[in-house]
């Protein structure tokens, strides 16, 4: 069940010169991984032309934002040097920024990469470390006026799925996100620039992920919009027995559940199909709320 916090408490997210309305509909963040070792695309979008075509397709299918990642954060992923990460995202971001004014997020933990992306027109920094991995990141976000996603992660990519444990998964994630929001605010990042993400699959077992989805409304009391990323993740494969590329139906159920439980934004691969799932879930939710 959702908590009593009203969505009107955060009617919009501000990111540089843009304002993204929150609450009237669940927003879709389309995933564009430009890495050779993504768990779901295996380098398919390393070619800039292919990546740009995919981004434009996602916009046409209903994406409200595009999230570009130049370093895989999947379990066991290798570290990528900042220069290589910048080299991967630069041609895509440069072209895409000229083609559309849609808000663009950069999935990175490195301030140098974030700075390069912001210089090229990015609007949001999606930091899976919640500003922990690079001490320069908070100041950069504050100075640029960018939006920021603060995500929970237990451990690091190389070890986060090695028997993750919690005494109280919801309470511990909530406390972590509260602390990271306080840290961001102390560095001068305005409240209406902050999005929180409980980090499905980042140091969580199957049961942890299900508990998070079933209690997503608990995070509304943090006072910031909630982003959830379930798309193609291992827990859906465990439940369905399907490989990465055939988890669309499982994804749709997880996305609809996230909507029902209070998510404001979902990060997905199959934008068109998830757009339909969200519309149906919201229509049912609105009917039940009457």
Give a yes or no: residue 217 inside a domain: yes
Of 157 and 219, the one with more pLDDT? 219
Give a yes or no: residue 2 inside a domain: no
What is the band of 80 on the pLDDT scale with cuts at 50, 70, 90? confident
Give a yes or no: residue 252 inside a domain: yes
Across the range 210-217, mean pLDDT stands at 95
Give a yes or no: residue 186 inside a domain: yes
Across the range 156-180, mean pLDDT stands at 84
For residue 190, what pLDDT is reported? 97
Give a yes or no: residue 1 inside a domain: no
Q: 58-62, 157-161, 166-170 — which is least confidently predicted? A: 157-161
Catalytic residues: 233, 267
What is the band of 144 on the pLDDT scale with cuts at 50, 70, 90? very high
Place of tokens 């991984």: 33
What DSSP state is assigned to residue 44?
Answer: T
For residue 16, what pLDDT is reported? 95
Give a yes or no: residue 177 inside a domain: yes
Give a yes or no: residue 21 inside a domain: yes
Taking the C-alpha atoms of residue 151 and residue 198, their distance in angstroms, rounded to an integer, is 6
Across the range 12-39, mean pLDDT stands at 87
For residue 72, what pLDDT is reported? 74
Q: What is the pLDDT of residues 37-55, one digit of tens each?
A: 554 444 566 688 899 999 9
Does the CA dihedral 98-102-103-106 come out positive or negative? negative
Which residues span the domain enclosing 193? 7-289
Number of domains in the chain: 1
- Asked whether residue 162 carries a pLDDT value surpassing 70, the answer given is no
Beta bridge partners of 127: 150
Taking the C-alpha atoms of residue 236 and residue 209, their distance in angstroms, rounded to an integer, is 10
For residue 193, what pLDDT is reported? 97
What is the band of 226 on the pLDDT scale with cuts at 50, 70, 90? very high
Give a yes or no: residue 184 inside a domain: yes
Q: What is the CATH number of the domain that holds 268?
A: 3.20.20.20
Using left for φ > 0, alpha for ψ between -120 and 50, and beta otherwise, residue 36 falls in alpha
Q: 9-13, 28-32, 166-170, 272-276 — which is least confidently predicted? A: 9-13
For residue 1, what pLDDT is reported? 43
Pick from 65, 71, 67: which is nearest to 87 by CA? 71
Supply the pTM of this predicted model: 0.91
For residue 288, what pLDDT is reported? 82
Number of H helices, E strands in the chain: 9, 10
Taking the C-alpha atoms of residue 208 and residue 228, their distance in angstroms, rounded to an integer, is 14
For residue 36, what pLDDT is reported? 73
For residue 9, what pLDDT is reported? 59
Contacts of 99 (CB under 8 A, 6+ apart): 52, 56
| Tokens at 131, concatenated | 């500003």
Taking the C-alpha atoms of residue 211 and residue 169, their distance in angstroms, rounded to an integer, is 8
What DSSP state is assigned to residue 201?
Answer: T
For residue 157, what pLDDT is reported? 60
Does the CA dihedral 232-112-184-66 come out positive or negative? negative
Contacts of 228 (CB under 8 A, 6+ apart): 197, 198, 200, 213, 216, 258, 263, 265, 266, 267
């Amino acid at each position: 069940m959702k908590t009593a916090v009203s969505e009107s408490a955060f009617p919009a997210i501000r990111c540089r010169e843009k304002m993204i309305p929150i609450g009237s509909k669940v927003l879709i963040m389309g995933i564009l991984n430009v890495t050779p070792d993504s768990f779901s695309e295996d380098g398919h979008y390393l070619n800039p032309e292919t990546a740009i075509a995919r981004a434009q397709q996602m916009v046409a299918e209903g994406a409200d934002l595009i999230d570009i990642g130049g370093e895989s954060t999947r379990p066991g992923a290798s570290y990528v040097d900042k220069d290589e990460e910048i080299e991967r995202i630069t041609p895509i971001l440069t072209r895409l920024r000229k083609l559309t004014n849609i808000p663009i997020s950069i999935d990175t933990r490195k301030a140098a990469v974030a700075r390069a992306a912001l210089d090229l027109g990015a609007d949001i920094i999606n930091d899976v470390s919640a500003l922990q991995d690079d001490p320069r990141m908070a100041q950069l976000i504050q100075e640029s006026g960018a939006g920021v996603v603060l995500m929970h992660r237990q451990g690091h990519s190389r070890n986060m799925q090695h028997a993750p444990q919690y005494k109280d998964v919801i309470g511990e994630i909530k406390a972590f996100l509260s602390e990271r929001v306080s840290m961001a605010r102390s560095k001068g990042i305005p409240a209406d620039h902050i999005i929180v993400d409980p980090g499905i699959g980042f140091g969580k077992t199957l049961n942890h992920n299900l508990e998070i989805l079933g209690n997503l409304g608990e995070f509304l009391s943090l006072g910031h919009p909630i982003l959830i990323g379930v798309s193609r993740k291992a827990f859906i494969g465990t439940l369905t027995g399907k490989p990465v590329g055939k988890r669309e139906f499982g994804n749709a159920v997880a996305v609809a559940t996230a909507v029902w439980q209070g998510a404001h934004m979902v990060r997905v691969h199959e934008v068109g199909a998830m757009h339909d799932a969200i519309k149906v879930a919201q229509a049912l939710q609105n009917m039940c709320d009457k």
